[in-house]
Amino acid sequence: MRIGIDFGGTKIEAIALGLAGDTRARQRMATPRGDYAGSIAAVVGLVTAIERAAGASGTVGVGIPGTISPATGLVKNANSTWLIGRPLQQDLEAALGRPVRIENDANCLAVSEAVDGAGAGAAVVWAVILGTGVGSGIAVGGRALPGRQRIAGEWGHNPLPWPTDAERPGPACYCGRHGCIETFLSGPGFAADHAARTGTAAIASHDIVAAMRTGDATAAASFDIYLDRLARGLAHVVNILDPDVIVLGGGLSNVDELYAKLPDRVGDLVFSDGFETPIRRGAHGDSSGVRGAAWLWNDP
């Protein structure tokens, strides 16, 4: 049995998967925000409860909104800031009494979709998160590709490709730079851009999409700009990685219009005589992260 833990900013979710990927147990709880010791205890409590419910013990994989530094063994780049600088892997292994595998949550999405999701059977899967934040993960042969610095797939903190004069220097990003892809393509970034363009009060990204569908011209124009920026961001990585499939996750991945219009937009920018890479919605939705954490123990 494989146990996956998805450590989010507001909730921690646990799942137990059988060897064939069947769900044997599942639980979640609110994240003890700002409380490192409480976070360790929460994970231990969930693993204990999951094993009791499933009637078996299992391996443990954990997805976090950050990564483990190969230089120090400590957490870095985490939105859940109380984890930063902490020996999370060592502390979890000591508390659980077994080895633990930890990966970035976007890599867990990629692994989940590569093993038995929208990228099943593909050699190289690039999974993109379009939500409150923006990021991506890469799976090769069904396994996460973390990279030497463990930052492979940190797409959201690169500059928007081929920017127009009006897009420079771009919105300020929490990382300290301006014009990061995340500031344009996240849900809040999309909403802020629409508000700035129209001179109106900010509304949520899903409300902009809803207005577009009713024929609102300003919402349609904002969505077209979003689509153009997303196509630029995707094409830039296709030119480098050339994945076999692109899988979209996060709240904005549920916008059906993306899948009808993106391939042609990306194809116009890719440095090739053709673009046949499928762009698919994640098959497991919000469950991809926790399933991918479990699949971190997908050894042959």
What residue spans in the chain does CATH classification 3.30.420.40 cover?
A: 2-110+287-297, 121-282
Quote the pLDDT of residue 298: 87
Residue showing tokens 């049995």: 1
**Across residues 212-238, what is the average pLDDT?**
98
Judged on CB neighbours under 10 Å (0-12, 13-18, 19+), 96 is middle
CATH of segment(s) 2-110+287-297: 3.30.420.40
- Tokens matching residue 241: 């990685």
Closest C-alpha to 160, from 130, 181, 183, 175 = 181
Closest C-alpha to 192, from 156, 161, 222, 234 = 222
> In terms of pTM, does the model score above 0.75?
yes
**Across residues 233-246, what is the average pLDDT?**
98
The answer, yes or no, to whether residue 78 has pLDDT greater than 80, is yes
| Cβ(233)–Cβ(161) below 8 Å | yes
Quote the pLDDT of residue 117: 96
Residue showing tokens 């928007």: 160
> Which range is least confidently modeled, 5-9, 36-40, 101-105, 204-208?
5-9
Average pLDDT, the chain: 95
Quote the pLDDT of residue 79: 78
Q: Does domain 121-282 have CATH number 3.30.420.40?
A: yes
Strands (E) across the chain are located at 2-7, 11-17, 23-30, 59-64, 67-68, 75-76, 100-104, 124-130, 134-140, 143-144, 245-249, 279-281
Count of Cβ atoms closer than 10 Å to residue 173 Cβ: 19
